[in-house]
Structure formats: C-alpha cells, structure tokens
A and B are shown apart, each in its own frame.
Chain A
Amino acid sequence: MPKLTMVQAINLALHQEMERDESVLVMGQDVGVNGGVFRVTDGLGDKFGSDRAIDAPLAEGAIIGTAIGMAMNGLKPVAEMQFSGFSYLSIPQLEGNGARMRTRSRGQFTVPMVMRMPYGGGVRALEHHSESKETYYAHTPGMKTVIPSTPKAAYHLLLAAIRDPDPVVFMEPKHSYRAFKEEVDDNGEAWELGKARTVQEGTDLTVISWGAMLHRTEKVVEQLSEDRNASIELIDLQTIYPMDGATIAKSVMKTGRCVIVQEAQKTLGPASEIISIINDKALMYLEAPVKRVTGYDVIMPYFARENQYVPTIGRIKRAIEETLDFE
C-alpha cells in the first residue's frame, strides 16, 4: 500500500474515478495545465485532456452553475473552488438550485456533482484563505457536506462523494494537505457518507473532531491516555451534514463525557448541533457538561495572530482534563 499525503490521495481518487467513469470531469480555476494551485489535480489534464480537466474562466458562480447543468445532463463534475473563502459566490447556485433541483422536479432532475475546496487555517496565507465555514454549506438540505481528516479518509470519501447521487461539498483541510502521510489502500472503495468514524475506542470520555483539528486532537488524546491512563474514544465526524447522530449518541451513552474540538467559530458551528443531538438522545447519560473547544466569533485574523485563533494543543488538553475530572 502506498504512503500518501492528502494531496496525493485526492489526486489518486480523481485519477481512478475519471478512468473508471467517463462522465466524471474536473473543472475550476487553474486545475488543468497547472494542476491546481495545490497540485491536487496534477496530471489530469495530460491524461484526460482539456475537455475533462477544464481550466474555467474566473467565475465561481458560473463554475458551479454550469456544473449543475452538466450534472442535470449526465455528467459528474467535480468542481474546484480555489479556496473556500471564494466559494461563497457559489451559494446562490447551490442553495437556489443545486440542492433543490431534486425536490423542485420531483426527482426528474438530479445533481450528482462535487464542489471540492481547501479550507481552514495554518498556511500563512493572505486574507480569505484561512476560514472554516462549513456551517454555510451544512445549513442546506439536499446537499451533503463532507470533511476528510486524513489521506486515507480523503481517498475513500471523495470516491463516495463523486458517486453520490446528490451534490456534495467536499472541504479539504489544507493544513493537512502535506502535513503527514498515511498508507492508502487504493482499492477504489467508497466509504459511506453520513457516517462518523471511530478512530479509537474508549470508555471514559468521547472526543469528537474533524478536519485539521482531528490530527491535533489525536496527539493530545494519545498523550493523555498514557499520562493519565484514561480510556478515551476519539470520533472523526467526517460528514457535517447529514450528521451521524447515532454514532455520537452511542458513544456518549457509553462514556458519559464529551469534548468537541472545532476549528470554526463558536456560534452556530457543528459543535452546537452535536450538543443538541446529545441533548436529544443521551442527556440522561451525561456525567459532566459537554465542552467545546472552538474558534472565536471574529473575522479570521491574518497569520501574525492566526495560530492562537484556532484551538491550541493547550486548550484541547485542558478541556479534556477538566471534563475527565468533573464530578
């Protein structure tokens, strides 16, 4: 099994799926000849030609709007937004049409497309290149929002996203693009969307995270499991919407304690929804208040301050310890 970075794993999934299914194509700004600004689509233009690796004119709204039309007529476009900070220009099309075409046409027209894009902080970039706004997309029924946190998850989840019969927003934590490698079984298998993944089982406390924060949290969990001999269950949420309430509830019913680590701002982030699910399904099992470690309700600062505005190792560690110790 090859050891791949997340960029390589996504690239592999695109290569394989375009080979397997002629209706799949990629489109976006600089995705063809240049292979994308992060090289995620590298080699697709050479291999599949400019009709299937489209260097589109510079207009997010029209990229997503035309992708919707393509999907309505038998293609499966995988459209890239260069950075999630520019993807909001796609919202009128996604919210107004992509997500509701199935409903509007009573199932006659469907939109099997993917909008994939790098998001999140940590690469010392300019304004608009560092936010985590999964809530904007997760707030739209008819459309799924998926976030992989490792190379392997990125490979299997992207295959699932492309094969899904409905629009999927696929948000790639760019901080993890090249941060580490992982063995990826390139067997072409799609993981089920809408399912969280239990990274590590435990009985004392549940930690839920996704995206770049999962990797950071995992390190803290490893250290605390050892230092305090704690049995911590770690869950990778993977799909933000539709959210896997069953896995969350089952875990919290077992452990009675829960910490959520989210890069996005505090107000109305996915953590708020997770807490509501716990409230609905597992409240009486709780032995401690659920804690969330999140970003803040500020405009994401430029990079001189950025690191302190995403959950730090220290904050994650303190939240887990306080929740473990709560009596």
Chain B
Amino acid sequence: MPSKVYARFSVSYMQVLDEDGKVDSKLEPSVSDDELLKLYRVMLTSRRLDERMLKLQRQGRLGTLPVCVGQEAVSAAAALAMAEDDWFVGAYRELAGRVMRGEALVKPMMVYNGMEEGNMTEGMKNVTPVAIILASQIPHAVGIAYAIKIRGEKNAVVSFNGDGSTSEGDWHEALNFAATWQTPNVFVVQNNHWAISTPLSKQMHNRSIAQRGIAYDMESIQVDGNDPLAVYKATKEALDRAKKGEGPTLIEALTYRMLMHTTADDPKKYRKEDEVEEWVKRDPITRFRTYLGNKKLWNAKKDEALEAEIKGEIDAAVKEFESISKVRMDEPFDYIFGEKEEIIEEQRQEFLDDLRKDKEDA
C-alpha cells in the first residue's frame, strides 16, 4: 500500500473591524443600531466597573478579584449574539458578557467581598455562576447541550474559558464528547496570551488553539477577539449551525489581559511593558467607538453623556453594596442539601451556640 495524504486541514482567522476601526464591509454582520449601541454601552460599563472594583480592592473594601480590562469584546459580543434562553456558561473573565445578560452591577462586588449572595442571578436566565476550577465548567456545557438536543429544544450553549484552561483534561474530554454527540455547543476560548505568568509558548506547542478543535472534527475558527464584530459574527453563525443540528463550534478569540491576573498578581515579575503597549493600540472599546462614529451613531457629546450615566449606575451599585452591613452567619447550612438532614441541623445549632458564646466572651 502506498502512503497517501489522508486529510488536510486549515485554520482560518477572521477580523471584521481592524485596529483603527475600519470595517471590512464584505464581512460586516447586520446588527441593528440599537444593538450596536448596547454593545458599546455594555463594554464601557464593564470597563468602568472593573476600574472601580480595582480601586475598592486597593482600599481594602474588596478581596482578591480578577479584572477583565481589554477583553470586554469577547464575552459582550458573544452574549449579544445569543438568544435570551441560550445558556451562558462562563469562567471568571466574562464580566462584560454577564452585564449583557443583565447582571446587576452590585453582584460581582458582593462575590468579591466574600458573599455567596452575589451569585444569585435574579433577572438572568440560564447563566451559571462564576467557575473557578479551570475548564471544569466545559463538560457541564456539553451536558446542558445534550439535554437540549434530546428534548428537541431550540436553544444552545455558549461556554467560555481561557487559553491556559485548554490544557486541562476536562476541556479536551468535553470537546470530544460534544463532537461525538454533535451537541449544540459553542466553545469560546479567550486566548489572552497568559495564564498568570505562563505564556502560550509554555502552555502548548500548537500554533493556534483553534486547530485543537479540528482534531475533534469540529468546526473551528480563530477571530480577532478585540474586534466585537468578528466575535459577534462567528458566534452568531456558530449558534445558527448548532440550532440547526449541525453540531458544535470552537471559537478562539485572540485578546490580551491588559492588567494583572488578579489583584494578588504582579505582572512586572514576568512580562515586558512593551508587549502591553502593543495591545493598547488594539483596544476593543476605542476601535468600536471609531466604528460607531464613522457610522454617525456616535460623537464626543454622546460619549460624555454615556460616561456620566454609567458612573451614576456604578455609584448606585457601590452605595447598595456598602449598605449591606451584615450577613446571616449560619446561611451556609441552608444549602448543603435540599432536605433537612439531622447532622447538618445539629451542627448548625452548635455553630449558633458557639457564635453566641464567642460574642459574649469578646
């Protein structure tokens, strides 16, 4: 038997809006003006909220937190492409996407102040809580999609994780399941080039993460993740395919973590400022503002008004956050099981007795 080429693959890259905000009209997706303006508003809200939370953290009013500065386009544009009942299964770098889905701005502050109450998602549908164990949420996204598929429902699942997380077994196993079962999944990878101090070059030998999807015979594409229109278009098309029963898609969104990994991290220890400077030029918000201006949808005056409005919203959220003076201490006992268990209630009682005695002794 002669040897022969069994198959050849290629990986494509898409950018719709370049660094200067110039649009490729052949690729430009059709999005209503209202939606474009909403996308801008959400990205800016996320940016300003991150900046404020960073300040609060530095003042000791919040604990350790991850910020998403520079990555807003990925989750915001993907969320814009989703229908209200599509599932949003994120990690912890999707603040913008969560805001797009309707998260109250006070919630992340509560979570990062050590309060589980912040995970309550009133007003949002099918949005799972922040997932910290890397890639562990991706198999869930496949299970959720499987349930949709066998019930013949019409929604789909969009999940998010970072570049480093694609090294985890959970990630690969989930993609293989999704491809094998042909579930309605869209896997968005936020490739921000770093996993804490670990650069891509130490994370994998692959030249792209998108090509990993090809290994599972999955529709895969790499997009400019700081280009909201490219992310939107890729997600929309992937969701359309998923909902038609044409299986899952992997979207690698190239972006950059502009700041520290979390507030506990110091990037000076491992990366050069020049690299960061290069990415400042590719900021998703600046680029999108230019695009909106070119479309005559935006100007300096409107921008000023929006900034003021967002500041008002964030001020109100901070005020609400600071008005929460107390938490009910025995609340963790409420959610261990769905039914009352004697061992838990016994320990709750011990806990409350000790809490009282500790207060008396103090």
B168 within 8 A of A: yes
Instruction: Please give, as numbers and ranges, the residues of chain A lying within 8 Å of B335 by CB-CB distance.
Output: 299
| Complex CA–CA separation, A315 to B351 (angstroms) | 10
| Complex CA–CA separation, A299 to B333 (angstroms) | 8
For A314, give the chain B residue with the smallest CB separation: B358
CB distance from A45 to the nearest CB of B (A): 10
Question: What 0/1 pattern do residues 107 to 118 of B give for CB contact below 8 A with A?
Answer: 000011111100
A298 pairs with B333, CB closer than 8 A: yes
Name A301's contact: one of B130, B164, B165, B332 (CB within 8 Å): B332
With A29-B195, A33-B269, A58-B203 known to touch, is A302 a contact of B134 (CB < 8 Å)? no
A306 pairs with B114, CB closer than 8 A: yes
B295 within 8 A of A: no
Tell me the chain A residues, 2-56 only, with Cβ under 8 Å from chain B: 29-30, 33-35, 37, 55-56
Name B63's contact: one of A35, A62, A86, A124 (CB within 8 Å): A124
| Complex CA–CA separation, A63 to B327 (angstroms) | 39
Name A318's contact: one of B130, B165, B357 (CB within 8 Å): B357
With A58-B164, A302-B114 known to touch, is A314 a contact of B354 (CB < 8 Å)? yes
For A127, give the chain B residue with the smallest CB separation: B132
B150 within 8 A of A: no
For B66, give the chain A residue with the smallest CB separation: A126
A187 within 8 A of B: no
Tell me the chain B residues, 324-351 only, with Cβ under 8 Å from chain A: 327, 329, 331-333, 335-336, 343-344, 347, 350-351
A305 pairs with B197, CB closer than 8 A: no
Q: Which of B115, B197, B270 has the most CB of A within 10 A?
A: B197
Q: Which of A29, A57, A60 has the most CB of B within 10 A?
A: A57
Name A57's contact: one of B130, B132, B204, B327 (CB within 8 Å): B204
With A34-B269, A125-B63 known to touch, is A58 a contact of B329 (CB < 8 Å)? no
For A34, give the chain B residue with the smallest CB separation: B197
| Complex CA–CA separation, A59 to B270 (angstroms) | 20
Name A297's contact: one of B63, B331, B336 (CB within 8 Å): B336
B332 pairs with A315, CB closer than 8 A: no
Question: What 0/1 pattern do residues 30 to 49 of B give for CB contact below 8 A with A?
Answer: 00000000000000000000
A69 within 8 A of B: no
| Complex CA–CA separation, A299 to B112 (angstroms) | 17
B270 pairs with A33, CB closer than 8 A: yes
Instruction: Please give, as numbers and ranges, the residues of chain B lying within 8 Å of A305 by CB-CB distance.
Output: 114, 327, 329, 331-332
| Complex CA–CA separation, A314 to B165 (angstroms) | 42
The count of chain B contact residues (Cβ–Cβ below 8 Å) is 47
B198 pairs with A308, CB closer than 8 A: no
Q: Which of B164, B332, B362 has the most CB of A within 10 A?
A: B332
CB distance from B118 to the nearest CB of A (A): 9
A312 pairs with B358, CB closer than 8 A: yes
Instruction: Please give, as numbers and ranges, the residues of chain B lying within 8 Å of A58 by CB-CB distance.
Output: 134, 164-165, 167-168, 195, 198, 203
Name B132's contact: one of A60, A126, A301 (CB within 8 Å): A126
B305 within 8 A of A: no
For A39, give the chain B residue with the smallest CB separation: B269
A267 pairs with B343, CB closer than 8 A: yes
- Count contacts between A and B, CB distance < 8 Å: 118
Instruction: Please give, as numbers and ranges, the residues of chain A lying within 8 Å of B64 by CB-CB distance.
Output: 124-126
CB distance from B349 to the nearest CB of A (A): 11
For A296, give the chain B residue with the smallest CB separation: B347
A281 within 8 A of B: no
CB distance from B78 to the nearest CB of A (A): 22
With A34-B269, A267-B343 known to touch, is A301 a contact of B204 (CB < 8 Å)? no
CB distance from B140 to the nearest CB of A (A): 16
A303 pairs with B167, CB closer than 8 A: no
A34 pairs with B196, CB closer than 8 A: yes
| Complex CA–CA separation, A304 to B324 (angstroms) | 12
B357 pairs with A85, CB closer than 8 A: no
Instruction: Please give, as numbers and ranges, the residues of chain A lying within 8 Å of B134 by CB-CB distance.
Output: 58, 86
Instruction: Please give, as numbers and ranges, the residues of chain B lying within 8 Å of A56 by CB-CB distance.
Output: 202
Instruction: Please give, as numbers and ranges, the residues of chain A lying within 8 Å of B133 by CB-CB distance.
Output: 85-86, 128
CB distance from A65 to the nearest CB of B (A): 10
CB distance from B40 to the nearest CB of A (A): 30
B5 within 8 A of A: no
| Complex CA–CA separation, A62 to B349 (angstroms) | 43
Instruction: Please give, as numbers and ranges, the residues of chain B lying within 8 Å of A60 by CB-CB distance.
Output: 168
A202 within 8 A of B: no
Instruction: Please give, as numbers and ranges, the residues of chain B lying within 8 Å of A306 by CB-CB distance.
Output: 114
Instruction: Please give, as numbers and ranges, the residues of chain A lying within 8 Å of B164 by CB-CB distance.
Output: 57-58
Instruction: Please give, as numbers and ranges, the residues of chain A lying within 8 Å of B111 by CB-CB distance.
Output: 302
Instruction: Please give, as numbers and ranges, the residues of chain A lying within 8 Å of B202 by CB-CB distance.
Output: 55-57
CB distance from A95 to the nearest CB of B (A): 16
| Complex CA–CA separation, A34 to B260 (angstroms) | 13
A302 pairs with B115, CB closer than 8 A: yes
CB distance from B95 to the nearest CB of A (A): 14
CB distance from B260 to the nearest CB of A (A): 12
Instruction: Please give, as numbers and ranges, the residues of chain B lying within 8 Å of A266 by CB-CB distance.
Output: 347
| Complex CA–CA separation, A20 to B132 (angstroms) | 38
| Complex CA–CA separation, A62 to B269 (angstroms) | 26
B343 pairs with A57, CB closer than 8 A: no
Seen from chain B, the residues whose Cβ lies within 8 Å of a Cβ on chain A are 63-65, 111-116, 130, 132-134, 164-165, 167-169, 195-198, 202-204, 264-265, 269-270, 327, 329, 331-333, 335-336, 343-344, 347, 350-351, 354-355, 357-358, 361-362
Could you pull out 28 A-B pairs where Cβ atoms are within 8 angstroms?
A29-B195, A29-B196, A29-B198, A30-B198, A34-B197, A34-B269, A34-B270, A37-B196, A37-B264, A57-B164, A58-B165, A60-B168, A124-B64, A127-B130, A127-B132, A266-B347, A296-B332, A296-B347, A297-B336, A297-B347, A299-B332, A301-B332, A302-B111, A302-B116, A304-B115, A308-B358, A312-B354, A318-B357
Seen from chain A, the residues whose Cβ lies within 8 Å of a Cβ on chain B are 29-30, 33-35, 37, 55-62, 85-86, 89, 124-128, 266-267, 296-299, 301-306, 308-309, 312, 314-315, 317-318
- 19 additional A-B pairs beyond A55-B197, A57-B164, A89-B168, beta carbons within 8 Å, are A33-B197, A33-B270, A34-B197, A35-B269, A57-B203, A58-B168, A59-B167, A62-B169, A85-B133, A89-B169, A297-B336, A297-B344, A297-B347, A299-B336, A301-B331, A302-B116, A304-B113, A304-B327, A308-B329
What are the 4 closest A-B residue pairs judged by CB atoms, nearest first? Answer: A303-B114, A34-B197, A304-B114, A302-B114
